[in-house]
Amino acid sequence: MISPDIFDADERIVINSAAHGLATNEFTRKSFLDNLNFSINISEDQDILGLLNGLKSKVSNMGDLDWNELALLIPLFTPYGADSIDSADPGLPVDVL
């Protein structure tokens, strides 16, 4: 079983944003990876590129069963009020309520 703890707060925000408004069966690993690749190709910010490339690596290395289990957990928990990467408190542990 996949644990959402493999993703940090910023990665969880990206995943939640990408899945927002989609049914679970519409949020496929292929479509998510395609969107990540597009974002990587147009981004010039090194911090964002690092985030996206790390997330791409984690998702690419997941098995289908892990991806399907992860999709059922979305939205993933993020620190209270963290709806964008800029608003996440990097000092707050991700699993704190």
Task: Match 């981004």 to its residue by tokens.
Answer: 43
Helices (H) and strands (E) in the chain, counts: 4, 0
Give the span between the Cα atoms of 24 and 2, in whole angstroms: 16
Predicted confidence band at 79 (pLDDT cuts at 50, 70, 90)? confident
Give the span between the Cα atoms of 40 and 73, in whole angstroms: 25
**Which pLDDT tens digit goes with each residue over 11-63?**
999 999 999 999 988 999 999 999 999 999 999 999 999 999 999 999 999 99
Give the span between the Cα atoms of 5 and 12, in whole angstroms: 9
Q: What is the pTM of this model?
A: 0.81
Give the span between the Cα atoms of 84 and 64, in whole angstroms: 27
